[in-house]
Structure formats: C-alpha cells, structure tokens
Amino acid sequence: MSKSLVVKLKKGGQQFEVLTKVGSMEPYRAGKMKMDQILVTEEIYKNASKFDKIKNSELKKAFGIDNKIECLKIILDEGTYPLSKKEMATKVATKRAEILNYLHKYYMDPAPLKEGKPLRPHPISRFDGILDEMKVNIDPNDSLHNQVRSITKKLPEFLPVSPVNPPHMDIGGKNSSGGGKNSGGGGKNSGGGGKNSGGRGKKGRK
C-alpha cells in the first residue's frame, strides 16, 4: 500500500477504489501508459486500506455492468487521486504557460496607437510579472478560459491592454476587459493596426 496510489470514484452512493503504481496516473491520463501498465492489482475495493473488495452485484448496481475490466477503466478515467508535489508543480507550470501565451496573443499593448502605429504584443515576461503582482493563484484543474476570464477582468488595473478578439469572450459572455478604459478602442478595429484603429479610439484622444 505504501508504494501504491489510490484512485477513488464515488458512484451510485458507493465508493470505489483502485490501486495503481505511484506516478503512473498522469502518464495514463495523457495516453502515454496503458491500463495494464499502471495497475497494482485488478481488484476493485470499497476501502483499499482494508482490502475490502467490491462485489460484482455492487458493480452492476452502480455502473450497469459487472465486467470488472470495464469498471476499472471507468474508475481510472473518471476517478480522483492525489498528486505528488512534483506532479502538481508541473501541472501548475503548464497551465501558467497556457495563460501567459493566451494573454500574449490576444491582449495587445495599445501604446503605439498614440503615434498612429499598429498594436504590438506585450512581452510574455511582462504578463508573467503582472500575474505575480496580481497574486494570481493558478488552478491546474480549472479550464484556461475560466481562469483567463477572471484575470482579464482586473488586468487593465495593472497593465494597459487592447483585447483583440479573445475567444473566451465569445463562449463566456461579457468580459469587462473588452470595454475598459484601457482597451484602446477594443472593438473590431483594435486588431487591425491601421490609422483608424487608434486615431478615434478612447486611447487615441488621451
């Protein structure tokens, strides 16, 4: 047990637990390992620490099937499990990189508009520092768009930005960063970069 990772799934009011090899679940979920490579045993437990096994009738009641292999796959695919510190740090770093690349791609620097020049991207390093300044906590399990939506509501308070058709604004409803005072014109023309994009925008009048 000390060298096993317990994957848990609650279904139909019943707890199901499966023993897997430590460090194997992340590669499995990423498609890099197969089920038979990560299982310590093919048994399914009510309580793995007590080796209290599930009955076939209980599998049938919760999953609608009593095929143990199929039930194992469902538990592995949908269940929860603790991450090691290294795994958690890797997932947080990966999600942070996704957020930074998204901001770099869709939230431009409006400063050149004052000189009638096209918008330009903020450096990723600038957004990285701003996230620290905003004290953003990255959730590795939350979606990119959910987290970006929260960040960009407050982003103009820390950095002048011009949103250029960010996808999360289409799927998540209104976003205050789209029409903020730092949006640099913020509409369809904000990404065009021509003379018309900044000359008559709010930013252009300052």
State the pLDDT at residue 141: 86
Lowest mean pLDDT among 80-94, 163-177, 179-193: 179-193
| pLDDT at res. 172 | 46
Instruction: Decide: helix, strand or coil at residue 76.
Output: helix
> Is the confidence at residue 2, as pLDDT, over 90?
no
Q: Residue 174: pLDDT above 80?
A: no
- Can you tell me the distance from the alpha carbon of 97 to that of 149, in angstroms, rounded to the nearest whole number? 16
- Pick the closest to residue 108 from 130, 132, 133, 127 (CA basis): 127
* Residue extents of the structural domains in the chain: 4-78, 85-205
What is d(CA 77, CA 84) in angstroms, rounded to the nearest whole number?
18
Q: What pTM did the predictor assign? A: 0.63
187 pLDDT more than 70? no
Look at residue 173 and tell me whether its pLDDT is greater than 80.
no
Contacts of 87 (CB under 8 A, 6+ apart): 23, 26
pLDDT band at 192 (very low <50, low <70, confident <90, very high): very low
> Residue 180 is which amino acid?
G
Rounded Cα distance between 52 and 145, Å, is: 41
Average pLDDT, the chain: 85
H-type alpha helices, 55-136: 56-63, 68-78, 85-106, 124-133
pLDDT of residue 81: 94
Q: pLDDT tens across 15-30, in order?
A: 999 999 999 999 999 9
3-class DSSP assignment, residue 9: strand
Per-residue pLDDT of 64-119, as tens digits, reads 999 999 999 999 999 999 988 898 999 999 999 999 999 999 999 999 999 999 99
Top-level CATH class of 4-78?
alpha beta
